[in-house]
Structure 1
């Protein structure tokens, strides 16, 4: 007896329609016509089955604060400074409740795994990360939350007290180290120190890199070189990398090839950087994102993600990866059939690879984290912003959506 049987659906990556059988939280069967009883049968007609979205770069501790923390200039720096002031006034319950509401949006939007950078700053200490680690346990049946111990930019970020706090965050349950080498006084010293910490604690690294309009990609280049030197290929992620679009083509290609060799995953944040970057431009105003096409063309693993949710860094968003996919397509000028398929992979398979997820996907034996879209193809799903009829986490339906429209003619 199967737990769930999906009949005759379009399967992302497959040519023909297939049935999918789910049992004991796993994809147990994938055939043209499964003849096994099931507790629940889903008609897959006119639906596209994809693996659950992986939102690999977010900031839950800042989510849903757009009505409480201002950013009149719309710049990255003002947002950072205003948050430092606001965070002195809130308690752990505030972080928990806002983050839970944000996660609920993500779940309904089809995200089954989410990585969040949580500040462990001098002001916050563990006030944000402690409730988020508790939330991780409470929501485990609905979404997998991975917590990054994130070093908020400030001049003395590398002093012993701050580094000790990051290690304690790992002891409490964070599984990744992160920070902003570009905003540190010395990006090489910052990167070297974080590699030392990561290697000692056997954990991956996820950095905010070159989130700037300036034509300076020294941090990304050094990160690639350091990754290769330390044998840390496949364990490093670089988010933003906006400056890659500001340098000349030859310089960009030199660094892209180093990034490829280092096995670094690049996470582009189209909605956030479209909003934050180019603030000093008159006209034309730059789009602000990294060189997505060139990175993909050179076989770099590229993902996209939501970043901030309705806060001073980005007062928009719904933690909806399909919404982000449409913006990704437009901002990066990716409108071919193959582009839409690549974008859908960026929000699923590529992001999962960057996070090192195991048993991910639609093959027999994989954990059954799936989304059923009311669409026939990747292109149809992204352009039409398809309804996510069923979200399945660990083999159980955790959310359903229904979208109806009726055109009424006056005869």
Structure 2
């Protein structure tokens, strides 16, 4: 479809998910326009003027002199928000493939790759490549975790700040530190907190179950509170039901009366815990106003690789399982690795899904395409027919958790940052790649050509 070059035009006959519409004061669209509860789409005409959504109407009469495009009921979404990524690790698979596919092997490979290659040029080019992909696919805002231990923060955060300035106006970028929480117990932890504050980022880290956990968490909250930083943690990325760092983070949020936004990612172990333990954690998470982001594609790839974890998911005794598994050269995973998305969302916890790792030892695949994230999440996490309720998980909800009230929604007076799909219904949208989507930024169609992998070839043999 060809988008007019004029500053004033209409998009006619657009299917818009009702949950993504933000109405202005006094504005109504009426319940009668909702097509049906399974496909919660409104048939609307969208007026765009000077890069802004000027009005949303039904069956608008458009003067002949004003250009219009008939979308023939193709779906229109706001641009995506990718709440949890790892741009600094991205696109290292070609030189550091994780053939074992386990979490431990991924840690070792990333550590080795970082020591050998992660100078400013290497990090810049791979991060920039990821941003090019994200932008072309229709992402408007993105948060990336940054490996920050052993002096890497100085290199990678300088790269991040340069890219943030270069992409200003196209992508809103946020950085989060990533270190084990015990890192914050020493002087280097305070230095890192200052570096994150200077970069305008979020303080974050990896809590692990240990006897000193509460003291480590308290220290992070103190550092964040002193600098007025939001917090973002990797929590319980395992199949071990004894991992309950999410509960400890929620309790600390309440204990410190923390007023900033806390986001916790992964939370995989929640799905293998007894119901009464799950309820304790969810109640605390809701009370603490914590946002949860699940990473279904990466966790599907990484989790349940270890035969020992199967004891949590099958009824047979572990000895019998191991004896059975030993007969075969490889093993089919029994567990999808995702957290309890439905239970969290139905409990009123802000719940999002995001890309996580792309083409690195933690996840061999991915292209920074949030539509792929949503599509795969719908299948992995059984979104079933409630697609319209879940599409906020890659738009409005992560935008709110990142502090962007005008991003990730469609409404009068908001920027015309939109994605136009040929798919007319969710069944069509989720069945084909939608590679021919049109991405509008301030009402103008952008170049959606993806960067060529060959751009990074020389980094593979560096």
Same fold, judged at TM 0.5 (above): yes
**Equivalents in 1 of 2:84, 2:62: separation in Å?**
41
Contact 2:143/2:174, CA 8 A, preserved across alignment: yes
Residue aligning to 2:203:
177
Q: CA distance change for structure 1 residues 399 and 378 in 2, over 3 Å: closer, same or farther?
A: farther
1:214 deviation in Å?
0.7
Q: Report Cα offsets for 1:107-129 as digits up to 9, x if no partner.
A: 22221111101122114131112
1:389 deviation in Å?
2.3
1:38 deviation in Å?
8.7
Q: Report Cα offsets for 1:29-48 as digits up to 9, x if no partner.
A: 22231637898643322311
Residue aligning to 1:367:
415
Residue aligning to 2:17:
12
1:24 deviation in Å?
4.1
Tell whether 2:124 aligns with 1:96.
yes
Q: How does 1:116-127 map to 2 (within 5 A)?
A: 116-127=144-155
1:401 deviation in Å?
7.2
1:203 deviation in Å?
1.9
Q: State the TM-score, normalized to the length of structure 1.
A: 0.89
Who wins on radius of gyration, i.e. which is larger?
A: 2
Residue aligning to 1:132:
160
1:235 deviation in Å?
0.5
**Equivalents in 1 of 2:227, 2:137: separation in Å?**
34
Unmatched runs of 5 consecutive residues or more in structure 1: 403-411
1:103 deviation in Å?
1.3
Contact 1:113/1:143, CA 8 A, preserved across alignment: yes
Q: State the TM-score, normalized to the length of structure 2.
A: 0.80
Which structure carries more strand by proportion?
A: 1
Q: Report Cα offsets for 1:114-157 as digits up to 9, x if no partner.
A: 11011221141311121122112212233222222x13238544
**Equivalents in 2 of 1:161, 1:277: separation in Å?**
32
Q: Report Cα offsets for 1:252-301 as digits up to 9, x if no partner.
A: 01211211121111100001111111122356622111011111221211
**Local SS of the residue matching 2:431:** helix
Moved more, 83-92 or 277-286: 277-286
Q: CA distance change for structure 1 residues 118 and 37 in 2, over 3 Å: closer, same or farther?
A: farther
Contact 2:206/2:233, CA 8 A, preserved across alignment: yes
Contact 2:209/2:243, CA 8 A, preserved across alignment: no
**Equivalents in 2 of 1:391, 1:67: separation in Å?**
30
1:387 deviation in Å?
4.0
Tell whether 2:405 aligns with 1:358.
yes
Q: CA distance change for structure 1 residues 57 and 134 in 2, over 3 Å: closer, same or farther?
A: same
Q: Report Cα offsets for 1:25-78 as digits up to 9, x if no partner.
A: 432222231637898643322311111111100000000000112334322222
Tell whether 2:158 aligns with 1:153.
no
Q: Which has the higher contact order (CA 8 A, sep 6+)?
A: 2
Residue aligning to 2:3:
none
Q: CA RMSD in A?
A: 2.4
Q: How does 1:185-224 map to 2 (within 5 A)?
A: 186-224=212-250
1:217 deviation in Å?
4.2
**Local SS of the residue matching 1:181:** coil
1:323 deviation in Å?
1.2
Q: CA distance change for structure 1 residues 186 and 341 in 2, over 3 Å: closer, same or farther?
A: farther
1:233 deviation in Å?
5.6
Q: CA distance change for structure 1 residues 87 and 31 in 2, over 3 Å: closer, same or farther?
A: same
Moved more, 3-12 or 239-248: 3-12
**Equivalents in 1 of 2:340, 2:284: separation in Å?**
15
